[in-house]
Amino acid sequence: MQNLASQKYISLETYKKNTQSVRTPVWFVIHNDLIFVITREKTGKVKRIKNNPIVKVSPCTFKGKITGEWMSGIAKKVIGEESQLAIDLRKKKYGFMAKIAQFASRGKGDLIVFSIKLI
């Protein structure tokens, strides 16, 4: 997990119902040994995680080029204070870019936060 802390992006691998994998580069934060990903409720990764919470993550570039080892995990939707903490940590980590991204993606529904526990 320490090798992820200094990274800006991770590739989040989720799975369709037919088991085909989909890799998406995402911003993330780490808190209490959990990886948090903030996205919008109408994105494909949310649908895939609801159908199958098993995921893989790896450090990557902005364009999704893998730069480290894959790690398996279980994703879980978080709400309440834990969700707000993750959003606040993302704002701190990514600064003004987080505000721009949040504004630009508002058409894809409400913010949703997933925690990923590595297994």
Task: Give pLDDT, residue 2.
Answer: 65
Query: What CATH number does residue 106 fall under?
Result: 2.30.110.10
Task: Give pLDDT, residue 1.
Answer: 66
Task: Calculate mean pLDDT across residues 59-69.
Answer: 96
Task: Calculate mean pLDDT across residues 1-8.
Answer: 82
Between CA 31 and CA 85 the distance in angstroms is 9
Q: For residue 110, what pLDDT band results from cuts at 50, 70 and 90?
A: confident
| Element of type H or E holding 55 | strand 54-60
Which residues, listed in sequence order, are joined to residue 72 by a DSSP beta bridge? Answer: 56
pTM of the model: 0.92
The residue among 23 and 97 whose pLDDT is bigger is 23
Write the CA distances from 67 to 2, 7, 9, 88, integer angstroms: 14, 10, 10, 27
> What is the chain's mean pLDDT, rounded?
92
Crossing angle for the helix pair 80-94 and 96-104, nearest 10 degrees? 120
The total of structural domains in the chain comes to 1
Rg of the chain over all Cα atoms, to the nearest angstrom: 13
Q: State which residues form the domain around 96.
A: 2-118
Between CA 69 and CA 71 the distance in angstroms is 6
